[in-house]
Every structure is written in C-alpha cells, then in structure tokens.
Structure 1
C-alpha cells in the first residue's frame, strides 16, 4: 500500500506546488492523477520515488517512510515510464530493458529470460526486437519497450508520467487498451499522470483531481461523473461527458438480456421449432457448463435442414464476442463486421449475459440523446 499523510512541496520562494495532500492507494489499484498545468499532479507522483523530495508530511510504501530508505534502491524497486520514453539510443532493446536487473545483480540467463518474457508481454517478438536499437522502432513500439523496462525487476509500484501524451491518437488508444489488459494480468499498483480526462476515465480505478496543489476529489470514475464534490471538478470533467461518450457506457447498458440458448446435440427440427416459437433469427449454442461454443442462424438451419443430424454441424464459432467489462464503443466498432448482426456479451466463464444488436445499440444511444436534450431544456 502507498500512503500520503499531509504531504507538501514548498519551493524556496514560498510557492506551494503541493499543499497538504493525503490519500491512500491500495495494493493493485490503478490511480490516475489529473488536473490543469501547475496543479501539482506530476510533482505528487515524482515525490513517490524521491525524484522530487517532499518538504513536509510523510509518504509511506508498504508501511515504510520513504525518507528512511536509500533513494537509489527505492527507485530500482519502482517502475517508471515517462512521455519521452528515455531509452538509451546506443543500447539495444534487450540492454535497455536489462538495466535495472543488472544493477540489482541478476545473473545473465535470468535477465535474458525476463527480457524475452516482457517483450512477449508487450506484443514485441523477442527474436525480432531484442537486438534492435531504439531508432529502428516506431514511437508506439518504443513506448512498449518503456513499459517493459519499467516492469523488468517486477516492481510492486509503477509510476507513469503522461506516457502516451506524445503519440498519435490511434497508437495512443491502442496502447491504452494494452495497458488495461496488462493491468488485469499483473495487478500492479500504478500511479498514472495525465491531462486528458477521457484517458483518466478509461484507465483509472480511481481518479484524483488536483488544482493549485490541492487534492479536490479522489473517487471512482462513476462517482466523479455523477457526484462531483466541487464546482471545478464538475467543469473539468464536463457535465454531459457520460452521455456524449459511448466509451464511458458499459456494454451491459446497450444489450438485451433476452437470450435463447441450445445445446449442440439438438436436432435441426427441434431447433427450428424453438426459433419460431421464440421469434428469433439466431440461436446461441452452449456446452454443458452453459459457456458459448457457437451461433446458429435460422437461414443456415433452414438451408441445411435435410443434410444434418445435429445443429453443431453447421453452427459458427463465436468469434465476435465482448466481455461484460467492455464498453458501448467496443460494440459500435465491432457491430459493422458481425455477419449475423449480433454480439454475445459474456462473463469470465464465457456464459452469455446478453446480446448486442444494431437495434439495442440504437435504442440505448437514442435514449441517451433524449436525456441530454431534456437536461438542456
């Protein structure tokens, strides 16, 4: 756990960059610090690894006052990713990632294995990229290497200072998605600084909004959107952001939970009777644990009615599915490429929670715009 107790940073001229800030970050949480320029967000983050020493108060990591720790050792045990990436241009990618493990005295075989593991984790093939130099990589690839380097010694805390700020929008969105996936696997304690509220809402388990060195509100994205505690917070977020941005709507809010399922060994005749009774054009096929294994269209069923014994022979694999943690935006992007016009929404056990169709998307988004119009009247 990481904790700030009445922490301030005062410069010689009396300017308070951070003013009596207190908060806790539980282990494994993704906390985003956000605010306008000069709000103190970057200073707050840099005090965690003593890149900027705090003037008063106490910063604790796992119950230890950081001022009682060796600063160099502290930094080796905290991952750090910055906007400028900071790769050494004369080092290979492998050497860049290996820097901290080498400083910690790891043996060569362990380091090599770790580099290979991390490059694979961030989507770069070790056989191709290990021996390359930073100038041979794109900006997005370099930032992936920066993330891999921050993870090299398996730190429990990772600091990220506007890591995607210099990237183009498409690469930035891709890396945001990859970071979410990485965090779901690794469960690191991450402190992430950004000036982009959409990025904060997408990534953060909780978001800390700062202004003039003060912490105005620290809450979940949902709480900030619906219950801003300060006028500045409301203005900074944007009153109608959740209505205007499908990325902030859960896919669950745009699906129907009326799902008709069948086992794979059902005869085509019985499946057709079921579909006519339920007035559906697609049937979800599940296994004995009710996990999705296929989708069957009425068109394919009628066409092959005399040629098959069981419906599993003509069902299609469930390639276009979304987990219940996805967003409405994910559904909007996917729906145009879905041949049968439906997207099953599944949980971690691959059980179907509901279905997204063009109709459910249109209905949900239309109601959002209706709500917006009523609020503006």
Structure 2
C-alpha cells in the first residue's frame, strides 16, 4: 500500500533528518512511528503528503510515486490529524468537516449526509454539535472533529501527528480506545506519530522505532517486547517492559483490575452511563451466572443508541479467549489477533474470570522486573 525505498531527507548544510529509510505499510494497517526528539519520526510521516518533500529515494502509494501526483490532489486524498487540531475558528463544526469534500466537488446533499454520519461515528450528536463553533467544544470534542475531518472524503491513508498528546489522561485514553475501534471497523491505513511508548504499544499493529534518522526496528508490539533487535530499542522501550519467562507466568497473574461487565438486557443509555462512570471504552457481556456472552464497544452503542433496546443486540463474540490455565506467553501470542486489545479469560464452564489487556500485560511484566531487580540487590 505505502512504501518507502531508501528515502532520505537532507536539509541545507548536509543534516540528514531521515537517512535511507525503507519499509512498507500494509493496506489497513496502523503503523506507529516513535523515537526521541530529533529521531526523524515526524519528518518521515510528513514526507508522505509532501508537507516536507524527500530528497532522495522513492515513496509510493499503491505502486505510484508520490512525485507524480499533483500536490493539492495528493493532500486531499490523505487525511491529516495534528496535535493542535487546526480547526478554523470562524467555521462551524459542519463547515470544518466539509472543507475537503467541497474542494473535491461533492454535492451539497452528499456533504451534509457525510458530515452527519461522521459526527455520529465519533460520538458527537449532529443536532447538537454541527452548528457549534470550535471554541464551544472541549479539547477532546475538538479532536474528535479533527478525526472526522480527516475521514471526510473517505481517504485510504490517514496521517496522525501526536494527535492526543495535549489532552488530559482520561480523554486521551478514551480517544485512543475509540480510534482503535474505528480503525478495526473502517480498515484505513494509518500512520501515527507519538513519543509515548505506552500509547504506541496500545495503538499499533506494528511499531517503527527511529533514532537519528535511522529506522532501528519495525515489528508488532508483542515482538518488540519479546525480541528487541537493538540496544537502543531495549532501552527506549524500557527494560522493565521486556518480558521475562512469560511461559512460566499464569495468565491469571496478569488480569486487568478494571473489567467492566454488563448483563445483556442493559439498555444502551444505561450502558453508556456505566462506560463513562468507569472510564472504559468496552463492556464485557455476561449472563446472571457470569457466563461470557460477548463484548460491546462504546462506539457501537453510540452509533445504535436510537435503534436498539438492549446491548445484546449489537454485541460481538468475545474472541479470542483463553482458559484460566493458560500462560502469559499464550496471551502475548494471542494479543496479535485481539481486535480490541483485550482477551477474556474463562474457566472450563465459560464463566468469566477476567480480562487480559495490553496494559495489564505490561503492568505485570513491570512488576516482575522490579521484583527481580530487588532480589539482585539483596
């Protein structure tokens, strides 16, 4: 889908911000670019839509050299979300989202339908928010509008430059979860820049770690944790995150402390209230005997708020899942296929015991490493 071949960005004076970088991004993949300040991660992303033109090498989208595109047309076909959001303060929310479709010559009625659809998709009621101005929205709401605007013309590629870094932790966590859900649903190719390793591990299908303009390793979060290929990669991830003897750790030792369950007959309004109260993005559905039935996301509930009576109508199968006799190693391997970043753990009768999440996995490994360091000191 998107390919870098020996791409270099050299500025005046010979400074190479990006030095002969090569990698491919698969269609529908969420790739995270991460590294310390000055690593070249943002420059790499900005070369995709030619905000920063590359000096040498080839960048192609679906096999076509980006240098053969008209710059304006290239950018209109690539969604772009930035940290500062960049909404036009004198435009309503509706007009902000409609900008690119208008530039592409969409019909007014089609634009109106698309704006309403996108506002609902990002959890903002069009009847309430479409005619408001950016200053009337919170930071999290504005960033939702930024995401909607990036999706407005239905681009295949979306670039996100530290989009959540200026938000408070709770709003940031919620938007991360919502973006993960949107990505799984829409299958857009996303290039996501961050300086936060926890965010990278949570968000990325794969993570590319950069330093001094070089690409040091590009792998799944689980493989990065198991097999850091470079000393700097190990140091940057944090030695406390590198997984030690996962085959010996029971999966029950790495369960999340914040599993939020719901009965299947719960109304969507009550479910949303519970989600907000517990600051989560998903509900695990279980019956009166706590038998696992499925999972529902906040995004799906909001989308179907007026069309369902009970959350069971929109729940999806809780797959994959693990038996309580499994190990942390099995959870690590299975996490690659866990579309919501979580794996239910059940007993042989399918009674829910808890959830393993990427966060609980990392927390458990961190604790294990701390204990090992204490033993070595003693």
Structure 1's 160 and 365: CA in aligned 2 closer, same or farther, altered over 3 A? Answer: closer
> What does residue 275 of structure 2 align with?
none
> What does residue 345 of structure 1 align with?
344
Tell me if the contact between 1:243 and 1:369 (Cα under 8 Å) persists in the aligned partners: no
- Deviation, 1:134, is 0.2
State the SS of the aligned residue for 2:18.
Answer: strand
Tell me if the contact between 1:34 and 1:210 (Cα under 8 Å) persists in the aligned partners: yes
> What does residue 238 of structure 1 align with?
238
- Deviation, 1:242, is 5.9
Q: How does 1:78-89 map to 2 (within 5 A)?
A: 78-89=78-89
> What does residue 92 of structure 2 align with?
92
- Deviation, 1:326, is 9.5
> What does residue 53 of structure 1 align with?
53
Q: How does the TM-score come out when normalised to structure 2?
A: 0.71
> What does residue 222 of structure 1 align with?
222
> What does residue 135 of structure 2 align with?
135
Which has the greater radius of gyration?
A: 1
Tell me if the contact between 1:94 and 1:130 (Cα under 8 Å) persists in the aligned partners: yes
Tell me if the contact between 2:161 and 2:192 (Cα under 8 Å) persists in the aligned partners: yes
- Deviation, 1:9, is 0.2
Tell me if the contact between 1:250 and 1:325 (Cα under 8 Å) persists in the aligned partners: no
Q: Which segments of 5 or more consecutive residues in structure 1 lack a partner in the other structure?
A: 256-291, 298-316, 328-343
Taking only aligned residues, the RMSD between alpha carbons, in angstroms, comes to 3.4
Q: How does 1:229-308 map to 2 (within 5 A)?
A: 229-241=229-241, 254=254, 294-296=287-289
Q: Describe the superposition over 1:311-339 as per-residue Cα deviations: whole angstroms up to 9, x where unpaired.
A: xxxxxx98999945799xxxxxxxxxxxx
Rounded Cα–Cα distance in structure 1 between residues aligned with 2:171 and 2:125: 18
- Deviation, 1:239, is 1.3
Q: How does 1:105-144 map to 2 (within 5 A)?
A: 105-144=105-144
> What does residue 208 of structure 2 align with?
208
Q: How does 1:184-195 map to 2 (within 5 A)?
A: 184-195=184-195
> What does residue 27 of structure 1 align with?
27
Structure 1's 371 and 46: CA in aligned 2 closer, same or farther, altered over 3 A? Answer: closer
State the SS of the aligned residue for 1:296.
Answer: coil
Structure 1's 185 and 237: CA in aligned 2 closer, same or farther, altered over 3 A? Answer: same
- Deviation, 1:67, is 0.3
Rounded Cα–Cα distance in structure 1 between residues aligned with 2:187 and 2:140: 23
Rounded Cα–Cα distance in structure 2 between residues aligned with 1:366 and 1:217: 24
Rounded Cα–Cα distance in structure 2 between residues aligned with 1:250 and 1:27: 35
Structure 1's 217 and 365: CA in aligned 2 closer, same or farther, altered over 3 A? Answer: closer
> What does residue 158 of structure 2 align with?
158
State the SS of the aligned residue for 2:167.
Answer: coil
Structure 1's 177 and 365: CA in aligned 2 closer, same or farther, altered over 3 A? Answer: closer
Q: Describe the superposition over 1:216-264 as per-residue Cα deviations: whole angstroms up to 9, x where unpaired.
A: 00000011111111110000001122669xxxx9988757xxxxxxxxx
- Deviation, 1:374, is 3.5
State the SS of the aligned residue for 2:23.
Answer: strand
Tell me if the contact between 1:295 and 1:318 (Cα under 8 Å) persists in the aligned partners: no
Rounded Cα–Cα distance in structure 2 between residues aligned with 1:101 and 1:42: 26
Rounded Cα–Cα distance in structure 2 between residues aligned with 1:293 and 1:40: 46
Q: Describe the superposition over 1:55-94 as per-residue Cα deviations: whole angstroms up to 9, x where unpaired.
A: 0000000110000110100000000000000000000000
Q: Which segments of 5 or more consecutive residues in structure 2 lack a partner in the other structure?
A: 256-284, 291-310, 323-342
2:371 to 348, 370, 373: 373
Q: Describe the superposition over 1:125-149 as per-residue Cα deviations: whole angstroms up to 9, x where unpaired.
A: 0000000000000000000000000
Q: How does the TM-score come out when normalised to structure 1?
A: 0.71
Rounded Cα–Cα distance in structure 2 between residues aligned with 1:326 and 1:137: 39
- Deviation, 1:296, is 2.9
State the SS of the aligned residue for 1:295.
Answer: coil
